[in-house]
Chain A
Amino acid sequence: MKLITAVIKPFKIDDVKDALKSAGVQGITVSEVRGFGRQGGHTETYRGSEYQIDFVPKAKVELVVDDSNADAVIEVIRKAAATGKIGDGKIWVTNVEQVIRIRTGEQGPDAI
């Protein structure tokens, strides 16, 4: 099993969710995060004083999938989140040792 983590532009979150649902994904976890990558931050001006805002708001999507689905899901997210402009974000994949459904106690791929 794989944990797929995607950090994307916040306004792309609905597109990514819809695309994943259409692809048959059963559940995702999202959070509002801040950070910087190659895009860097931006400046804001308050009463004439400029501030450098280093951390840009991003959305983080996390989901666990069976190994056999990982590549397809990654491609779905990549397509849905892409704008072609700098700051589109990243997707990374980590191995998952175990998944347990709390209600039933099911384990492994059955719990996904």
Chain B
Amino acid sequence: MLAAATIDSGATAWVLVSAALVAFMTPGLAFFYGGMVRSRNVLGMLMQNVFAMGLISLLWASIGFSLAFGGTGAWIGNLDFVFMKDLATIAELPGYTGDFGLIIPVLAFFGYQMMFAVITPALITGATADRMKFSAYAVLIGVWAVIVYPVVAHWVFSPNGWLFKRGALDFAGGAVVHINAGAAALAVVLVLGDRRGWPREAMPPHNLPFTILGTGILWFGWFGFNAGSALGANGLAAQALVNTHLAAATAMLSWLVVEKLRSGHATSLGAASGAVAGLVAITPCAGFVGGMAPVAIGAVAGAVCYLALRLKTKFGFDDSLDVIAVHLVGGLVGALLLGLFADTKVNALGFDGLFFGGGTGLLVDQVVASAATLAFSFGVTFVVAKILNATMGIRVSTEDELVGLDQSQHAESAYQA
């Protein structure tokens, strides 16, 4: 057992760099989505993402971190760390003892986790594109960052959380980030309604080069997201980095193969989407699987997420940029496949999955964790969105929607004629 005061400089350096890598993912996400919207809404999309870096960071420092990682409760943290109380001086976090002891300063962990809290609600913007009031968006993600994200983070990430204790695994946020944000996105879309004209009108992406650029930034930042979650500069971080890359690479190829077979062309948007689907699916698995498992996970994720695109037209909800197909479905694919591919030879703190002699125990825990996250996030977000819609209204007027978010919400234009 490590003494609480043992701070490893290599580990600390890697986690600090990883925090910067994850911070870079939010502007990356902004460009990934920004390229896919119509030109009159691109600033609205970029702004919603960048704005999260401001608001959510402050909320995280004020209360979010404390609700996620304070105290020893199973269901939610406490208020011990509100306004960053004691974070710079405390020796260890509740639950992070023994095998789970941190070898980095608590403040480094706080900063690293802050970047996760920022990007998670930003993922919702892809589903609500082109029609949500900026003011309502600001209130929605602010509330969400206090009453939804920290709760799920506590359940899954904190060693005191009930899902962690139960044995569910989530290395870097398959449930906390992707299932959580995907379920919330679905809830908001159901309250918000479809874009005017959807699905009759063509709404093609206005700048796919932005989307490819954003994909590159996301892929790059994801090494901090997943390999940084080892919270050390060690073999496990290397394993997570390799897994992350192989899953993204394979998912890109598998998406393209299915796309080519089903619709005739391998598209650049397909390559970008497939890579992100693979990154999402490997997120929970990154530090628990090894060998060729990431290739299998990526292959399944690319194909399944492509096929999941049809859900929105089948069920008639305008998930504009496919947050549900890529993040919710991709997160579920990763969480469930971890129940098959987890290997304690890769990480002794994990459990063996079905294919590695662990039986169905882990798979059941993964199902429970995924279902609990999905149900909680969807339910609470739906109620919050309904209340906001009844009070301030969450959708822009028809005229504002036709003019575009850039002009109607921000009094700007991205492209001067």
Contact = CB atoms under 8 A, between A and B. Distances in A.
Contacts of B265: 45
B204 A50 contact: no
Contact of B309 (A47, A51, A52): A47
A48 interface: yes
Interface residues of A, number: 10
A53 interface: yes
Interface stretch (B187-195, B266-274, B361-369): B266-274
B314 interface: no
A45 B202 contact: no
Interface string A3-18: 0000000000000000
Interface in B284-332: 306, 309-310, 313, 322
A51 B204 contact: yes
Contacts of A47: 267, 269-270, 273, 306, 309, 322
A44 interface: yes
Contacts of A44: 204
B391 interface: no
A47 B313 CA distance: 12
B73 interface: no
Contact of B205 (A46, A48, A50, A53): A46
Interface string A25-49: 0000000000000000000111111
A47 B265 CA distance: 10
Nearest to B306: A48
Interface stretch (B143-151, B170-178, B256-264): B256-264
A53 B202 contact: yes
A44 B267 CA distance: 10
A44 B306 CA distance: 17
Nearest to B259: A48
Interface residues of B, number: 17
Nearest to A45: B263
Nearest to B270: A47
A48 B269 CA distance: 10
Nearest to A47: B309
Nearest to B205: A46
A20 to B, nearest CB: 27
Contacts of B259: 48
Contacts of B309: 47-49
Given A51-B204, A52-B202, A53-B202, A45 B264 contact: yes
A50 B306 CA distance: 15
Interface in B82-96: none
A56 to B, nearest CB: 14
A51 B310 contact: no
Contacts of A51: 202, 204
A92 to B, nearest CB: 26
A87 to B, nearest CB: 20
B317 to A, nearest CB: 15
Contact of A46 (B264, B267, B306): B267
A52 B204 CA distance: 10
A9 to B, nearest CB: 21
Please provide the 4 A-B residue pairs with the shortest distance between their CB atoms, ordered closest to farther: A51-B202, A45-B263, A48-B263, A48-B309
29 contacts: A44-B204, A45-B263, A45-B264, A45-B265, A45-B267, A46-B204, A46-B205, A46-B267, A46-B269, A47-B267, A47-B269, A47-B270, A47-B306, A47-B309, A47-B322, A48-B259, A48-B262, A48-B263, A48-B306, A48-B309, A48-B310, A49-B309, A49-B313, A50-B263, A51-B202, A51-B204, A52-B202, A53-B202, A53-B204
Interface of B: 202, 204-205, 259, 262-265, 267, 269-270, 273, 306, 309-310, 313, 322
Given A47-B269, A47-B273, A51-B204, 20 more contacts: A44-B204, A45-B263, A45-B264, A45-B267, A46-B204, A46-B205, A46-B267, A46-B269, A47-B267, A47-B270, A47-B322, A48-B262, A48-B263, A48-B306, A48-B309, A49-B309, A49-B313, A50-B263, A51-B202, A53-B204
Interface of A: 44-53
